[in-house]
Structure 1
């Protein structure tokens, strides 16, 4: 076996392996991206079908120019007292059946965070930015 044919065989084999790895990763990434998009669409379709009334109200609030950049909201009772400086968003337990459970489901999926201040009796939540933008675009 001569040195030239050995070197050429090594280079061709290396190039073939590198090209195979590159194209394998490229198409695997494309497939995973498509699968992720389908899973995300399915997740949000299920979410909308199960929580349509609440999510529709949230969407309307976020599309309102007065609340366009608000990312926090409160869970309140209509009969209770609440003192807050400035404008705020609130959802009332009396208007939504199972509101607290729906909010906990959204929280468990990482779509909102509980940001209730220590020592306060009023529940305060914050939308994640990706969820807020999803609400505004659907």
Structure 2
């Protein structure tokens, strides 16, 4: 067996292995992306079924040009006196069934973050950017 045949066989085998790895990884990544998208769609569909009224109001608020970049919101009662400087987002306990529990559920899923300031009596949350973008879309 001559060295030329051996070199050509080695190069052909190496090229075949590299091409197989490349295409295997490419199609695996495509499949994983589809599965991830399907899982995310299923997650948000279930979320909308559980919290439709609250999420609809949040979507409406973030779609409003005055609030499109707001990420923080307050949980209030209509009977409370609340003083804030400038426009702000707020959701009222009287307008949503078990609002505090719904917000805790959203926080547990990593969609909002409790950013209540120490010593304040008013609960304040912040939308994650990913969740805000989902609500706007």
Q: TM-score, normalised to structure 2's length?
A: 0.95
Alpha-carbon distance between aligned partners in 1 of 2:4 and 2:68, rounded to the nearest angstrom: 69
Query: What residue in structure 2 maps to residue 42 of structure 1?
Result: 42
SS state of the match for residue 94, structure 1?
helix
Residue 39 of structure 1, CA deviation? 0.7
Counting only pairs closer than 5 Å after superposition, residues 85-124 of structure 1 correspond to structure 2 as 85-124=85-124
CA displacement at 1:81 relative to structure 2: 2.2
Aligned length: 137
| Residues 7-57 of structure 1: per-residue CA shift (max 9 Å, x gap) | 111111110110000000000000011111111111111000110000001
Secondary structure at the counterpart of residue 70 of structure 2:
coil
Deviation, structure 1 residue 69: 1.6
Matched, 1:11 2:1: no
Cα RMSD (Å): 1.1
Q: 1:65 deviation in Å? A: 2.1
TM-score calculated relative to the size of structure 1: 0.94
CA distance in 2, matches of 1:121, 1:3: 83
**2:65 counterpart residue number:** 65
Runs of at least 4 residues off by over 4 Å? none
Which residue does 1:52 correspond to in 2?
Answer: 52
Q: Does 1:26 align with 2:26?
A: yes
SS at match of 2:113: strand
Stretches of structure 1 lacking an aligned partner (at least 5 in a row): none
Task: Name whichever of 117-126 and 12-21 sits farther off.
Answer: 117-126
